[in-house]
């Protein structure tokens, strides 16, 4: 009897082990059904993006024209129909996943890093640095995004990389603004002072205490920005400064199919659905991540 | 008996803030010293500079003038990086346990943070063990180790704050109104805890409060501050038995006496409001509210602390 109670008490002691932030966040993320659905969808997209080359031959199946099969409605042979040049819409969407993901996620990632660093430093230190960063930001903000992107792409040459750079600049400005505002409210909190009293260096305080507490508005902005950057890439393609024309990028396909929307709507509808589902999945994931990172919403 | 060791000495500590209207005298020429293992209570009303004094001592704010000598080392002009090493010696307990803990960190993370930062322990297992020990020391049940601050009540949160301060084995702790945000019943628990920790670990406290009944129970010495200056400083018993500065007298008479039906001494009420601390004239700072104010005070300059009896200092022209 006494042995048994002893065993129980040691077991209890072992239970009181600390969990790391990553473990805790992951545990809570898995409890959120929406986030799990979003993650599964994104993983599928990632697999598609990586396996496009194994599934299709780029020259014949993706960009090769076949006028005899032009503008066919969706069927068992062509799930999503074919476009005006006889290319299979389904294969093009699958193959195009990589471009859309690189453009959407890549531009936001670059913009996020730049915006997070400049914005948090501006919000934290204030003064001259704040003036410098925010005025530069205002200048960029005052130029219409599309025009700015056109100029950048013209200078760097048309390619996916220059498109990513062009779009990341306009994302960076909004990330910097949001981060700065959030950091300014967190900076004055007593737990920041407490961290100083503990002897933490400033960069650790910013990374460990300030940025995690600013994350909610930033995560929302990330999920929104990925979707809008995919769309923005398509308007740039439409202007002729986006992805070079035969590339099966979703936004390009959408604008290509626009002329046929009355007679052959599948050319527009399916790329549109692909963009929509991606944005939806990212939103579900982002919301789940935001909630999982906020211990106050713990269930 | 061995010579008593002075752990902290403050000379002419001054902190001015620049405001659009002029210089704000938050702390103005404060002097004191504390022996190891003792408690100095700093008392005063809101805005008298007592919290600023505490923060300046720990160099969370840069002093405008004066000297801070900790354990024989002049730390006044230590850089931030150099100060970081001193943080293992001097710690702070904050007033508001609701805002002084990062809401996104678990209790384990909060308490182990200073241990990790100063690399006091290497392995993860050791750090976890020490964190659990600290929780035992401050009376937090181990089951809260993965909880978050918002799940706990004020008293438990303040225990986390205390555990964080203790984690680095400091010699001196500045307690900035550690109980003023708590319920009365919990105040007593926390005060007893602090008292017991002092006995067990030989800690030195600077105890900042506006609550005289708390400080009486707690301090060896009491310093009364008014508008950035120390107006009276004496051993605790002496100041309660024999308050000399008119402001101290008023503060003491404001302590509620929890006895029903007993004849209570008349209250000494202060007129008016605290003078603006911006651009002060060289005059007694208590002049406008003082009920013993005499004509001669008007013409004299700002009084300095004078020893009127052993260890009892008062800054007043008429106090004898």
Domain residue extents for chain A: 23-60+87-297
Share the mean pLDDT of chain A.
84
CB contact under 8 A, B60 and A295: no
**What's B6-89+170-314's CATH class?**
alpha beta
Please say whether the beta carbons of B48 and B248 come within 8 A: no
Smallest CA–CA distance from A189 into chain B, residue: B99
CB contact under 8 A, B117 and A204: yes
At residue A16 the predicted structure's pLDDT band, cuts being 50, 70 and 90, is low
Report mean pLDDT in 10-residue bins for chain B, 320 residues.
77 90 88 91 88 91 91 89 90 91 91 92 90 93 90 92 93 92 88 92 92 85 91 91 88 81 75 78 82 77 86 83
Architecture of the structural domain at A23-60+87-297: Orthogonal Bundle (1.10)
Q: Chain A partners of B154 at a C-beta cutoff of 8 Å?
A: none
Q: In what order do the strands lie in the sheet with B73-74?
A: B22-35, B6-19, B65-70, B73-74
Please calculate the CA angle B284-B286-B289 and round it to the nearest 5 degrees: 135
Please say whether the beta carbons of B119 and A199 come within 8 A: no
Helices and strands, counts by H and E, chain A: 13, 0
Dihedral in degrees, nearest 10, Cα atoms B78, B83, B85, B90: 120
**Residue found by looking up tokens 């220059």 in the block:** A162
What is the tens place of the pLDDT at every residue in A278-294? 888 988 988 888 888 88
Q: What does the H/E/C string look like for A134-171? A: HHHHHHHHHCCHHHHHHHHHHHHCCCHHHHHHHHHHHH
Residues present in chain B in total: 320
Of A18, A199, A298, the CB nearest to B114: A199
Cα–Cα distance, B208 to A292 (Å, whole number): 38
CB contact under 8 A, A198 and B114: yes
The residues near B76 (Cβ < 8 Å, ≥ 6 apart) are B63, B66, B67, B68, B69
Q: Chain B partners of A190 at a C-beta cutoff of 8 Å?
A: 94-96, 99-100
Cα–Cα distance, B28 to B317 (Å, whole number): 18
Q: Chain A partners of B114 at a C-beta cutoff of 8 Å?
A: 198-199
Query: Whose CA is closest to B166, among B196, B145, B141?
Result: B196
- Taking the CA atoms of A250, A256, A259 and A262 in sequence, report the sign of the dihedral they define: negative
| N- to C-terminal Cα separation, chain A | 36
pTM of the model: 0.81
CB contact under 8 A, B104 and A17: no
Query: Whose CA is closest to B70, among B33, B41, B40?
Result: B33
The whole-number pLDDT of residue B1 equals 43
Helices and strands, counts by H and E, chain B: 10, 12
Domain with CATH 3.40.50.300 in chain B: 6-89+170-314
CB contact under 8 A, A199 and B143: no
A60-74, A211-225, B64-78, B144-158: segment of lowest average pLDDT = A60-74
DSSP B4: P
Q: Chain A partners of B86 at a C-beta cutoff of 8 Å?
A: 199
């Amino acid at each position: 009897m006494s042995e048994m109670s002893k065993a129980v008490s040691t077991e209890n002691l072992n239970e009181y082990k600390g969990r790391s932030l990553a473990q805790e966040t992951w545990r809570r993320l898995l409890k959120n059904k929406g986030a799990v659905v979003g993650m599964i969808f994104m993983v599928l997209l990632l697999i598609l993006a990586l396996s496009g080359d194994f599934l299709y031959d780029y020259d014949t199946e993706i960009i090769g024209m076949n006028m005899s099969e032009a503008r066919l409605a969706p069927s068992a042979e062509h799930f999503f129909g074919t476009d005006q040049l006889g290319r299979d819409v389904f294969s093009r969407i699958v193959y195009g996943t990589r471009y859309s993901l690189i453009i959407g996620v890549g531009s936001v990632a670059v913009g996020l890093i730049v915006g997070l660093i400049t914005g948090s430093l501006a919000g934290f230190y204030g003064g001259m640095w704040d003036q410098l960063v925010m005025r530069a930001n205002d200048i960029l903000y005052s130029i219409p995004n599309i025009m700015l992107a056109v100029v950048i792409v013209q200078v760097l040459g048309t390619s996916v990389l220059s498109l990513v750079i062009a779009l990341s600049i306009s994302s960076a400005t909004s990330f910097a603004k949001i981060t700065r505002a959030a950091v300014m409210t967190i900076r004055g909190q007593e737990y920041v002072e407490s961290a100083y009293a503990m002897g933490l260096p400033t960069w650790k305080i910013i990374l460990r205490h300030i940025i995690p507490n600013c994350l909610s508005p930033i995560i929302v902005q990330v999920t929104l920005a990925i979707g809008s950057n995919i769309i923005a890439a398509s308007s740039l393609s439409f202007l002729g400064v986006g992805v070079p024309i035969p590339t099966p990028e979703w936004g390009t396909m959408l604008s290509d199919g626009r002329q046929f929307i009355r007679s052959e709507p599948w050319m527009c509808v399916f790329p549109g659905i692909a963009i929509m589902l991606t944005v939806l999945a990212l939103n579900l994931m982002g919301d789940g991540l935001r909630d999982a990172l906020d211990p106050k919403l713990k269930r | 008996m061995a010579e008593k060791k002075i752990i902290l000495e403050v000379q002419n500590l001054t902190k001015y803030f620049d405001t659009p209207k002029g210089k704000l005298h938050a702390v103005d020429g404060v002097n004191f010293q504390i022996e190891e293992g003792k408690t100095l209570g700093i008392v005063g009303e809101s805005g008298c500079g007592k919290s600023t004094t505490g923060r300046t001592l720990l160099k969370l704010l840069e002093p405008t003038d004066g000297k801070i000598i900790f354990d024989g080392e002049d730390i006044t002009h230590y850089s931030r990086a150099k100060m970081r090493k001193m943080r293992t010696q001097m710690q702070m307990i904050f007033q508001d346990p609701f805002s002084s803990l990062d809401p996104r960190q678990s209790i384990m993370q909060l308490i182990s943070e200073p241990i990790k930062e100063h690399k006091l322990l290497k392995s993860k297992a050791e750090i976890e063990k020490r964190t659990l020990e600290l929780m035992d020391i401050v009376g937090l049940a181990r089951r809260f180790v993965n909880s978050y601050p918002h799940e706990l009540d004020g008293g438990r949160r303040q225990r986390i704050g205390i555990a964080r301060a203790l984690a680095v084995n400091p010699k001196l702790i500045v307690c900035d109104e550690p109980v003023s945000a708590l319920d009365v019943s919990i105040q007593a628990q926390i005060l007893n805890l602090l008292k017991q920790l002092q006995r067990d670990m030989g800690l030195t406290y600077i105890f900042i409060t506006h609550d005289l009944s708390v400080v009486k129970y707690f301090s060896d010495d009491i310093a009364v501050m008014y508008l950035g200056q120390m107006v009276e400083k004496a051993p605790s018993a002496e100041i309660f038995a024999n308050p000399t500065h008119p402001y101290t007298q008023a503060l003491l008479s404001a302590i509620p006496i929890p006895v029903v039906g007993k004849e209570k001494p008349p209250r000494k009420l202060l007129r008016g409001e605290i003078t603006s601390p911006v651009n002060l004239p060289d005059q007694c700072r208590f002049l406008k509210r003082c009920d013993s104010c005499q004509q001669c005070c008007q013409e004299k300059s700002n009084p300095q602390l004078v020893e009127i009896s052993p260890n009892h200092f008062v800054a007043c022209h008429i106090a004898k």
